Structure 1
Amino acid sequence: MRQFVNRLICATLTLASVLVAEASAEPLARDLFAAHRLPAVAQPSSYGFYSKGCFAGGIAIAPDGPTWQVMRLSRNRRWGHPDMIRLLEQFSRDAARDGWRGLLIGDISQPRGGPMLTGHASHQIGLDADIWFSPMPAQRMTVEQRERDGSPSMLRKNSLYVDDARWTRAHEAVLRRAASYPQIERILVHPGIKKKLCDTVQGDRSWLRKVRPYWGHDSHFHVRMSCPPGSAGCKRQDPVPRSDGCDKSLAWWFTEEPWRPATGPAKPKARDVMTMAALPAQCQAVLAAPAPASEVAVTYTGPGEIMQQPVAARAGAAYPVMSLQPQNVPLPTPRPSR
């Protein structure tokens, strides 16, 4: 009996210690940043690295522009450093002149950046953006369409190679245009798309160095800006190699190794365990900073413009953007199957 009582006491103490530890555990950074629906009112600045940081003074790109439409509005991830938002507007305008009707813009960042509840490891400092490989349709899409519809993969089914029935010179042109901006230092695409470019691009191939192969980017491409002026706390990524990347580093992606399923116990994603202690000290101030009075004052609509009327009052916009909830929304997949 005494042995049973001792075991019961030990079990009770162990449970109590676990409960105390859980109660005193630091909150997850992803929960703290996701709770903010508006940006930090401060001088625009990015802090930390693309996958471990935050930013202040962000603005949102309008859901609709003359040459863009924003997808997956319920995620509230159309925020970025002002330099990124203005660059996306310029990119959309230039791409339209190149023959690409307009951009469908996916995730940029949360209002104050930081790790997200779902999806990306990066997109934390307002300098990353996803662009769909489908051009903007002629008509304005409804909110429901933007939540439901997807961009088709550029690959053949169950293959690492591009489907020639879907790939066009316009796809090459929009990537070439993205690479033309000095502010953009990297463009992430599926390895099969990188190979397609290596096999078909003629003339000047210097821009291919910016196009980097990576898992999961078969229906969209990812543009990444370099650290902008005024962001002393932004940590730069290593420069891309000087070569065009059509070498053995690309050939590796067409071996079994990068696609082999992981073995052993699953490791938690960094965003799911990251606390504020892992982020730059400035991110505490970013979380504590006041928010603007409304989204209206920080939504960018075009060159030099900041939105002057509520979103729902704009032509063709019949949505309360902030009321949508991210339910049943497809999320990015990091590693497509072979």
Structure 2
Amino acid sequence: MIRFLAIAALVALPSAVQAEKLANKLLGAKTVASQQASMPIGSYAKGCGAGLVQLPETGPSWQAMRLSRNRNWGHPEMIDFLVDLSRTAQNLGWVGLYIGDISQPRGGPMTSGHASHQIGLDADIWQLPPKRLNLSRADREKLSSIPVRSADQKSVTQNWTRQHYEVMKAAALDPRVDRIFTAAAVKIEMCKTAKKSDTKWLQKIRPIQGHDTHFHVRLKCPKGARLCETQKPTVAELSKGGNGCDETLMWWVTDYLNPPKPTKKPKDPAPRKRHPREYTMADLPKQCQDVLASP
């Protein structure tokens, strides 16, 4: 019996060691930022964040939500952006903003959820206009945001207002912002209602699945952030082809929501891509080891 248990333990050891090396387990276990100069390291979906800053749980124009996740950490430029946008939201008639996930204290692949949000330059902003900014920690765990697109994905719901449009436009006009991910129906509605002479900023509004209750802001690599990988193609490069409205209306309404019947024999499926939660520290930029080891 003792011999059997010893053999079983040896068999289980490799998988246990491998699990221990998973980057999301190691970085996700850190509860505070690294004591380093602020630096986004790697790419938005494969990296980490040195010297991240915690967004205060509550401010005069915002509240951080789902505090149990401890994901209200970001690069200082992101924290400044969120504070600025929340003040703009107040000027537009909202009480402020409810802010969802930014990054873990040291960034990196998350223990659940997002594939990106790894370098402190991504943040989710709820589409629920706050009624008050004195929610308790328990309230912030129970309260949910609201969908602004219909179940069939073809249009916005009655939850969508002109103030939603103006808040997202203000975010897109900020020079720090690279792109904003939202539901396709939102992009389509914004394209329809924007002034024809003022639509260049709409190129930053990018349709994507799973963003009907929040919009996801991604900042550019800050000036001097030499370890940050710029996303390609950049929105500036894409904007040479227009504001994205014609392509959006054509592809999302036709090919995506009502896909054409295939005319050719389907190709063999591509190999499955590894999810960031499967990355080990060896998969991330080497500087992430220093972030992990820092006090």
TM-score range, shorter chain: 0.7 to 0.9
Deviations 1:283-318 (A, max 9, x none): 00000011xxxxxxxxxxxxxxxxxxxxxxxxxxxx
**Distance in 2 of aligned mates of 1:234 and 1:139:** 34
1:103 maps to 2:97: yes
Cα contact 1:44–1:55 (8 A) shared by 2: yes
Q: CA deviation at 1:259?
A: 8.9
Q: Which residue of 1 aligns with 2:278?
A: 273
Deviations 1:29-72 (A, max 9, x none): 00001110000011110100000000111110111110101110
Q: CA deviation at 1:149?
A: 1.1
Q: Which residue of 2 aligns with 1:232?
A: 226
* Range with greater deviation from structure 2 (95-104 or 62-71): 95-104
Q: CA deviation at 1:18?
A: 4.7
* Partner secondary structure for residue 244 of structure 1: coil
Q: CA deviation at 1:256?
A: 5.5
* Partner secondary structure for residue 218 of structure 2: strand
Cα contact 2:90–2:96 (8 A) shared by 1: yes
1:187 maps to 2:192: no
Q: Which residue of 1 aligns with 2:288?
A: 283
Larger radius of gyration: 1
Deviations 1:156-178 (A, max 9, x none): 23443211x22111011001110
Structure 1: tracts of 5 or more residues without a match:
1-11, 291-338
Query: Would the alpha carbon gap of residues 94 and 17 (structure 1) be closer, same or farther in structure 2, given more than 3 Å must change?
Result: same
Cα contact 2:187–2:207 (8 A) shared by 1: yes
Query: TM-score, length-normalised on structure 2?
Result: 0.86
* Partner secondary structure for residue 245 of structure 2: coil
Question: How large is the RMSD of aligned CA atoms in angstroms?
Answer: 2.5
1:69 maps to 2:74: no
Q: Which residue of 1 aligns with 2:163?
A: 170
Q: Which residue of 2 aligns with 1:83?
A: 77
Equivalent runs, 1:1-338 vs 2, <5 Å: 18-25=11-18, 27-163=21-157, 165-202=158-195, 203-238=197-232, 239-240=234-235, 241-242=238-239, 243-255=242-254, 257=256, 267=272, 270-290=275-295
Cα contact 1:45–1:230 (8 A) shared by 2: no
Structure 2: tracts of 5 or more residues without a match:
260-267
**Distance in 2 of aligned mates of 1:277 and 1:23:** 17
Runs of 4+ in 1 over 4 A off after TM superposition: 14-18, 256-260, 263-269
Q: Which residue of 2 aligns with 1:296?
A: none
Cα contact 1:213–1:250 (8 A) shared by 2: no
* Partner secondary structure for residue 236 of structure 1: coil
Query: Would the alpha carbon gap of residues 255 and 15 (structure 1) be closer, same or farther in structure 2, given more than 3 Å must change?
Result: farther
Cα contact 2:182–2:215 (8 A) shared by 1: yes
**Distance in 1 of aligned mates of 2:129 and 2:161:** 12
* Aligned pairs, number: 275
* Partner secondary structure for residue 63 of structure 2: strand
**Distance in 1 of aligned mates of 2:46 and 2:258:** 25
Query: TM-score, length-normalised on structure 1?
Result: 0.76
Q: CA deviation at 1:90?
A: 1.1
Query: Would the alpha carbon gap of residues 265 and 18 (structure 1) be closer, same or farther in structure 2, given more than 3 Å must change?
Result: farther
* Partner secondary structure for residue 21 of structure 2: coil
